[in-house]
Amino acid sequence: MTRALFIVDVQNDFTEGGALGVAGGDAVAAGITAHLTEHAGEYAVIVASRDWHDADSDNGGHIALEGPPDFVDTWPVHCVAGTTGAEYDPGLDTSAVTVHVKKGQGKPAYSLYEGATDDGETVAALLAAHGVTEVDVTGIATDHCVRASALDAIEHGIHVRVLTGLVAGVAPEASDAALAELAHAGAELVGAA
């Protein structure tokens, strides 16, 4: 069995003080760093994703430029390419990350699978090339991009473990519902180690 680690959107705009900051985001960044210190060698591939939205664009209707966002399909400006908000949270040590993926470039994108490397390689192709059959999922936000990434991995026939101590969500109820949905879809919910 070959295992990969997904680090989903641990970015300044999604941690405390960011445009869409979630409670516990900084702790997730620090927790993933600690997890990598102990377990990086257990992964054939470590994939970190970032929202990387185009500036001065609604990114396919994802960013609310006219009127208030509905926080379902439209969002405040966040994770604009090249800005501090789009960078990784400083508590996340990315030195062990083997692949960096950008998503949401001009269009809505929640799943890490919707992103690509700077060379244009998709996550699905990358995982297939490494023979990945299992993925541990961490990151932000449990009820949005973590959920979408884990569901896509399951759809691609990969066994998914969500490391529940290394995720943070927007809302407790929605996050609990997302974890229940993932478990129902076949994901294993486990502690950080």
Helices (H), the chain: 25-39, 123-129, 147-155, 172-185
Residues 114-133 pLDDT 10s: 999 999 999 999 999 999 99
Any residues with CB less than 8 A from the CB of 62 and at least 6 apart, and which? Answer: 53, 73, 74, 75, 104, 107, 108, 109
For residue 100, pLDDT over 70 is answered with: yes
In the prediction, which pLDDT does 120 show?
A: 95
In the prediction, which pLDDT does 9 show?
A: 97
Torsion of CA 109, 170, 88, 63, to 10 degrees: 40
**Is the pLDDT higher at 189 or at 66?**
189
The CATH code that applies to domain 3-51+82-190 is 3.40.50.850
Lowest mean per-residue pLDDT among 15-29, 58-72, 104-118, 175-189? 58-72
Any residues with CB less than 8 A from the CB of 173 and at least 6 apart, and which? Answer: none
Distance CA 16, CA 161 (A): 25
Residues 153-190 pLDDT 10s: 999 999 999 999 999 999 999 999 999 999 999 999 99
Tell me how far apart the terminal alpha carbons of the chain are, to the nearest angstrom: 18
Predicted TM-score (pTM) of this structure: 0.95
Using CA atoms, how far residue 40 sits from 97, 124, 178, in Å, is: 9, 21, 26
45-51 β-sheet, strand order = 99-103, 45-51, 3-8, 134-140, 159-168, 188-190
Average pLDDT of the chain is: 94
For residue 192, pLDDT over 80 is answered with: no
In the prediction, which pLDDT does 71 show?
A: 86
In the prediction, which pLDDT does 39 show?
A: 96
In the prediction, which pLDDT does 61 show?
A: 86
Q: Tell me the catalytic residues.
A: 9, 103, 145
Residues 78-97 pLDDT 10s: 999 999 999 999 999 999 99
